[in-house]
């Protein structure tokens, strides 16, 4: 009963838990349906690394992959056909959540090729194609928050495509995404489109922020610097949420809200704690709040089920978050520079994972 109470309380606060994992075995064995029926999970995120692990380690794909090797010469299309089938099945499992929440929740994310991270036109074309091929209302197309991705995101919103913007690490990056979202909605509305049908989330990669900032704090090695370890990512999250309230409480969004538009929710990603000295729910417990999403790997979901507590925490200790944020900056660690480096590294890691994925289906 305690397990259900925790997740029920989260939903009452207004936070969704999405699972950062998807495999055919999870679908065929009914694990995803059990998590959804229990109210623990209300969405799914995926990426090339997740799909590679599922395909390499999952016997469920072998027959389809052998058939696709005969039918499809292009390894990328082989992967897409495997992934799209899984995403469609997951969308169907989550459709009741989508219906009950009237499109606020119950989504599955599918990523465009990371090789398009700096190609706006290619990203737009891929997003349109994947959205059409999945053919489910509750699919989110994942687009990276690169400069080209920002342009592609605006166009996709203007096209009425629901999007998960990924690889965000700084407030400046988030502000650019929020502005693109509002502009895309305004264009869609002006063209006579239905803004109510668009869902978008903005995904911050939490543990990666601390991993890089902590290295720089360790190098400085003063007592002030060492005392700031493990505090930056949560501070960024709290400040991002404060900014979220400003943007989507603004007169500019009010006109869109009146037409049925939804705010772009913040999503906390990369939420498994990388430093074993830190609390295993460091990127969960302090970041619970209305109209947010936490996408967790299996280990973090299990940790929350075991000892997590649901409370509206994201607005707490905002002065302390501002102080920690400013203190890191005073030490010469620029948050926007950190964000740029992490975005570049993230694109590289996703590209490497995608290359390994294509090798796995070749």
Residue 334 included in any domain: no
The CA distance from 95 to 45, in Å, is: 15
- Any residues with CB less than 8 A from the CB of 36 and at least 6 apart, and which? 42, 93, 94, 96, 97
The CA distance from 238 to 240, in Å, is: 5
Residue 257 included in any domain: yes
The CA distance from 145 to 170, in Å, is: 11
CATH number at residue 89: 3.20.20.70
Phi and psi at residue 112, in whole multiples of 5°? -70, 165
Query: How is residue 112 annotated by DSSP?
Result: P
- 48-57 helix and 335-360 helix, angle to the nearest 10 degrees: 30
User: What pLDDT score was predicted for residue 69?
Assistant: 92
User: What pLDDT score was predicted for residue 3?
Assistant: 45
Give the tokens for residue 272.
Answer: 């498994």
Residue range of the domain that includes 260: 2-206+237-317+344-360
- Any residues with CB less than 8 A from the CB of 349 and at least 6 apart, and which? none
Residue 168 included in any domain: yes
Domain count, the chain: 1
User: What pLDDT score was predicted for residue 144?
Assistant: 97
Residue 65 included in any domain: yes
Phi and psi at residue 164, in whole multiples of 5°? -110, 110
Residue 123 included in any domain: yes
Residue 82: name the closest of 116, 48, 105, 107 by CA.
Answer: 48
Residue 165 included in any domain: yes
User: What pLDDT score was predicted for residue 56?
Assistant: 86
The CA distance from 134 to 139, in Å, is: 7
Residue 15 included in any domain: yes
> Measured between alpha carbons, how far is residue 76 from residues 108, 113, 160, 301, 354 in Å?
20, 9, 25, 31, 9
Q: What is the mean pLDDT of each run of 10 residues along the chain (362 residues)?
A: 72 97 94 96 93 87 92 94 96 98 98 97 98 98 98 98 98 98 98 98 98 98 98 98 98 98 98 95 98 97 96 97 98 98 96 93 90
**Active-site annotation, residues:** 142
Residue 116 included in any domain: yes
User: What pLDDT score was predicted for residue 4?
Assistant: 54
């Amino acid at each position: 009963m305690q397990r259900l109470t925790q997740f029920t309380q989260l939903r009452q606060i207004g936070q969704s838990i999405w699972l950062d994992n998807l495999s055919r075995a999870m679908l065929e064995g009914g694990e995803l349906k059990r998590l959804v029926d229990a109210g623990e999970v209300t969405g799914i995120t995926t990426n090339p690394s997740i799909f590679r692990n599922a395909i390499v380690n999952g016997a469920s794909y072998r027959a389809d992959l052998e058939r696709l090797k005969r039918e499809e010469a292009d390894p990328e299309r082989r992967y897409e056909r495997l992934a799209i089938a899984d995403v469609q099945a997951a969308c169907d499992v989550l459709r009741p959540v989508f219906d009950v929440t009237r499109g606020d929740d119950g989504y599955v994310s599918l990523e465009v090729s990371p090789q398009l991270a700096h190609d706006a036109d290619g990203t737009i074309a891929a997003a349109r194609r994947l959205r059409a091929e999945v053919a489910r209302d509750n699919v989110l197309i994942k687009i990276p928050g690169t400069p080209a991705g920002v342009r592609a995101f605006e166009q996709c919103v203007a096209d009425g495509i629901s999007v998960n913007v990924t690889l965000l690490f700084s407030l400046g990056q988030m502000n650019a995404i929020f502005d693109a979202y509002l502009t895309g909605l305004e264009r869609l509305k002006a063209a006579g489109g239905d803004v109510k049908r668009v869902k978008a989330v903005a995904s911050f990669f939490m543990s990666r922020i601390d991993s890089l900032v902590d290295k720089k704090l360790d190098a400085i090695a003063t007592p002030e610097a060492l005392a700031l370890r493990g505090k930056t990512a949560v501070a960024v999250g709290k400040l991002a949420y404060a900014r979220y309230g400003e943007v989507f409480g603004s007169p500019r969004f009010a006109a869109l809200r009146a037409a049925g538009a939804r705010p772009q929710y913040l999503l906390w990603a990369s939420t498994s704690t990388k430093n074993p000295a830190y609390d295993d729910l460091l990127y969960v417990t302090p970041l619970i709040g209305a109209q947010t999403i936490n996408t967790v790997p299996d280990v973090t979901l299990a940790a929350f089920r075991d000892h997590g507590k649901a409370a509206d925490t994201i607005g707490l200790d905002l002065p302390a978050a501002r102080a920690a944020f400013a203190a890191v900056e005073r030490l010469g660690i620029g948050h926007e520079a950190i964000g740029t480096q992490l975005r570049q590294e993230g694109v590289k890691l996703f590209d490497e994972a995608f290359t390994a994925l294509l090798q796995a289906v070749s």
